[in-house]
Amino acid sequence: MKVSTHIVSAPLHTPFVTALRTATHVESLLVSISDGSETGWGEAPQVWKVTGESLAGAQACVEGPLAAALEGLGPDDLTEGLRRIQSAVQGNFGAKAAVDVALHDLAARRRGQTLHGFLGSTVDVVRTDVTLSAGDPSALVRAAKDRVADGFEVLKVKVGTGDAAADFKRVHKIREAVGPEPRIRLDANQGWSRRDAVTAIRALEDAGSNIELVEQPVAAADLEGMAWITDRVSTPILADESVYGVRDLVAVIRHGAADLVNVKLAKCGGLGPARTLLELAREHGIGSIVGSMMESHVGVGAAAALVAAYPTTTVNDLDAAWWLMESPVVGGIWYEGPAIHLPTDPGLGVIGLSS
């Protein structure tokens, strides 16, 4: 099988601002694996502040040890291929995810199935929330109203900018502006202290702001702090950066640190590990969502296929490709407001790179 890499840069229609960074483009590595007649696609997004992986590093990993691990592998040996890539190197989860997804995509195409069908789903539409970038209250209120007008029913608000009182005011103003119906979830991206998190969340609870969940309120390694918060608020807490793989999720469960877990392909290493995480969470009564990094229709398409086959406990966070002015590939998923339409063509439905 031939493994190829393609670095792409796609502009966003609106800057994406969080407590960690400001993005104006999606910078990503697309990976294609061909058996000579069919080609599978995968993606490794560059997310310095979360995974620490660069495009150059992911490309070197894919073209080096991961490609070497697939030498001599037959195109139908999916299980063995997945085992090899997970054991070939330490870390490098984005690179592993790209190859894992490309192998799944190739296997589905060889059988003439969509990727979500290959994973066992008959669902062809999944729904997503939409993120409101961090900003001043008036800008957030305008964005919230616009997104509700677009049909989005779940708004994700970036908080954790260092001022818990200001975060409270921003979120409360959004709730007042959009009314009681749209769900609002918060993502602090590790930006609060444990005390600030409890203060802000309790204030929102007392104000009747009806927050669905709060994602990663404190530093990823501070499981004791997250458990301390979980014990002191009624609003569900979602672990994101705290969980990459099974060992991390086990630690979250043992600490009682969160009510839900956010599973992302580029964090855990692909569809294989993601399925394990979702099954483990379900077995232990932990809620789940599937999320995405700032990535294109390839990575989001794979995550959407996973959701279609492995339903989660609430609306997922798959709006990343919605932010793109245009897709770097031809074919694949497409958005209609909060609805992500899965392709009817085999695999991910990706035909190739856009010109």
**Among candidates 225, 229, 278, which has minimal Cα distance to 249?**
278
Predicted pLDDT at 1: 86
Distance between CA atoms of residues 234 and 35, nearest Å = 52
In the annotation, is 169 catalytic?
no
Show Cβ contacts of residue 205 under 8 Å, excluding neighbours closer than 6 positions. Answer: 211, 233, 234, 235
- pLDDT at position 18: 63
User: CA-to-CA distance for 19 and 144, rounded, in angstroms?
Assistant: 18
Percent of the chain scoring above 70 in pLDDT? 98
Residues 110-134 have pLDDT tens digits of 999 999 999 999 899 999 999 997 6
Q: Buried b vs exposed e over 329-346: b needs ≥16 C-beta within 10 Å? A: bebbbbbeebebebbeeb
pLDDT, residue 210, reads 94
- 23-35 pLDDT per residue, tens: 788 999 999 999 9
Q: Quick check: 309 and 120 in contact, CB under 8 A?
A: yes
The predicted model scores a pTM of 0.94
Q: Say which DSSP state 280 is in.
A: H
Mean pLDDT of 261-270: 97
Does residue 153 contact residue 338 with C-beta atoms inside 8 Å? yes
Residue 233 has pLDDT above 90, yes or no: yes
Strands (E), the chain: 2-17, 22-34, 39-45, 125-127, 130-132, 154-158, 183-187, 211-215, 237-239, 260-263, 287-290, 329-331, 334-336, 339-341, 350-353
Beta bridge partners of 273: none
Alpha-carbon distance 241 to 223, whole Å? 11
2 is known as an active-site residue: no
Domain 2-112: CATH architecture, name and number where available: 2-Layer Sandwich (3.30)
SS3 56: helix
Q: Average pLDDT, stretch 215-239?
A: 97
User: Cα-Cα-Cα-Cα dihedral of 23, 25, 31, 36, to 10°?
Assistant: 160
- Which residue in 96, 156, 264, 267 is the catalytic one? 264
- Domain residue limits, the chain: 2-112, 118-353
Nearest to 109 by CA among 43, 39, 42: 39
Write down the pLDDT at residue 47. Answer: 82
Residue 21: pLDDT band by 50, 70, 90 thresholds? low
pLDDT, tens digit, for every residue of 33-70? 999 999 999 999 988 777 888 999 999 999 999 999 99
The reply to whether 2-112 and 118-353 are identical in fold is no
pLDDT at 201 over 70: yes
Phi, psi of 30 (to 5 degrees): -95, 140
Kindly tell me if the per-residue pLDDT of 20 is higher than 70. Answer: no
Instruction: Tell me what pLDDT residue 163 has.
Output: 80
Please state, in angstroms and rounded to a whole number, the distance separating the CA atoms of residues 228 and 275. Answer: 29
Q: Is it the case that residue 207 has pLDDT exceeding 60?
A: yes
Query: How many residues comprise the chain?
Result: 355
* Confidence (pLDDT) at 189: 87
d(CA 199, CA 205): 10
pLDDT band at residue 138 using 50, 70 and 90 as cut-offs: confident
| DSSP H or E stretch at residue 167 | helix 164-178
Average pLDDT of the chain to the nearest whole number? 94
Is the model's pLDDT at 80 over the cut of 60?
yes
pLDDT category at 19 given cuts 50, 70, 90 is low
pLDDT on residue 148:
95
CATH code of 118-353, in short, is 3.20.20.120
Name the catalytic one among 96, 156, 158, 267: 158
